[in-house]
């Protein structure tokens, strides 16, 4: 797996823990992404160990992300924040913090977040 994908997964772990718990649905998404990113058994083990305890954005190697990777992380983060049925206030706050940490300009980050929220809400209706 590319180092950038590893950083994205670690970023998503911090989003999953934003509300103080790692929901089963969030774990399922992380597992699906491990498969999609073709993680080796040792990489998957590393992510599972990383996810065992609450993580913050400061635990994520954001310097491993390209500009495109930062935007992908942001969009995935928004989707993940809705996966357990609704986006919690703590998750919204973390998404705002993530935009700042990723250094995505305000107008662009607002557009990315709004589009990802709309996509997430439409997917929830399918469940």
How many CA atoms are closer than 13 Å to the CA of 109, on its beta-carbon side? 17
Question: Model confidence over 87-107: pLDDT tens digits?
Answer: 889 999 999 999 999 999 999
| Predicted local distance difference test score (pLDDT) of residue 84 | 80
Whether 127 shows a pLDDT value over 80: the answer reads no
Task: For the chain, give every domain's residue range.
Answer: 3-126
Q: Using only C-alpha atoms, what is the Rg of the chain?
A: 13
Is residue 75 a contact partner of residue 116, using CB atoms and an 8 Å limit? yes
Global confidence as pTM = 0.91
CA–CA separation, 100 vs 77, rounded Å? 14
Question: Which are the contacts of 85, defined by CB distance < 8 A and separation ≥ 6?
Answer: 25, 124
The CATH number of 3-126 is 1.10.3680
Whether 109 shows a pLDDT value over 70: the answer reads yes
Question: Model confidence over 60-92: pLDDT tens digits?
Answer: 999 999 999 999 999 999 999 999 888 889 999
21 Ramachandran zone, left/alpha/beta (phi>0; psi -120 to 50): beta
């Amino acid at each position: 797996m590319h180092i950038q994908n590893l950083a994205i997964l670690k970023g998503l772990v911090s989003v999953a823990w934003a509300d103080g718990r790692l929901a089963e649905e969030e774990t399922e998404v992380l597992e699906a992404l491990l498969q999609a990113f073709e993680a080796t058994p040792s990489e998957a083990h590393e992510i599972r160990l990383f996810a065992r305890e609450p993580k913050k954005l400061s635990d994520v190697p954001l310097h491993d992300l390209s500009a495109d990777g930062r935007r992908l992380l942001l969009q995935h983060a928004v989707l993940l924040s809705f996966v357990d049925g609704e986006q919690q206030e703590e998750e919204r706050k973390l998404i705002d913090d993530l935009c700042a940490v990723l250094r995505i300009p305000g107008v662009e980050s607002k557009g990315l977040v709004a589009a990802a929220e709309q996509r997430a809400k439409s997917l929830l209706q399918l469940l």
